[in-house]
Structure 1
Amino acid sequence: MPRLIDHARREDELAEAVWRVIRREGASGVSVRTVAAEAGLSTGSLRHSFPSRIDLVAHATELVARRIDARIRTRRADPDARRRAVRILAEHLPLDDARRAE
Structure 2
Amino acid sequence: MAKHRIYTMSFASVYPHYINKAEKKGRTKTEVDEIIRWLTGYSQDGLEEQLEKQTDFETFFAEAPEMNPSRSLIKGVVCGVRVENIEEPTMQEIRYLDKLVDELAKGKAMEKILRK
TM-score by length of 2: 0.26
Work out which of the two has the higher radius of gyration on C-alpha atoms and give 1 or 2. Answer: 1
Q: Which has the higher helix share?
A: 1
* Greater RCO, CA 8 A, separation 6+: 2
TM-score by length of 1: 0.28
